[in-house]
Amino acid sequence: MSAYKKIQCEIVDKSFLLEALSLLGLQPELHDTPQNLKGYLNDARREKAEIIVPKEQLNNKFTKASNDIGFSWNETAKKYDFYCSEYDKAMKMDNKIYQAYVKVVLENSLAKNGYKIKVNIADEDFLKNQSHVIEISARKIV
Amino acid sequence: MSKEIELKITIGTDGKVFVEPKGTKGEECLEIMKFLDKIEGFEVLETTPNKDMKKINYISNEWESYLSSDYNKD
Domain ranges for chain B, please list them.
6-73
CB A119 within 8 A of CB A104: no
Mean of the pLDDT values across residues B46-73?
A: 50
For residue A30, what pLDDT is reported?
Answer: 98
Its ipTM equals 0.91
Cβ of residue A65 closer than 8 Å to a chain B Cβ: no
Task: Supply φ then ψ for residue B20, to 5 degrees.
Answer: -130, 120
Mark yes or no for CB contact A2/B28 under 8 Å: yes
Q: Determine how β-strand A44-53 pairs with β-strand A69-74.
A: antiparallel
Q: Judge whether A7 is closer than 8 Å to chain B, CB to CB.
A: yes
Flag if B36 and A5 touch (Cβ within 8 Å).
Answer: yes
Alpha carbon of B69 to those of B65, B72, B74: distances in Å? 6, 5, 9
Q: Report the number of distinct structural domains present in chain A.
A: 1
Domain that holds residue A130: 14-139
**Tens-digit pLDDT profile for residues B16-30:** 999 999 888 878 888
| Angstrom distance (rounded) from CA A119 to CA A135 | 6
Condensed to tens digits (0 to 9), the pLDDT of residues A45-87 reads 999 999 999 999 999 989 988 999 999 999 999 999 999 999 9
In the predicted model, is pLDDT for residue A88 greater than 80?
yes
Residue A102 domain-assigned (yes or no):
yes
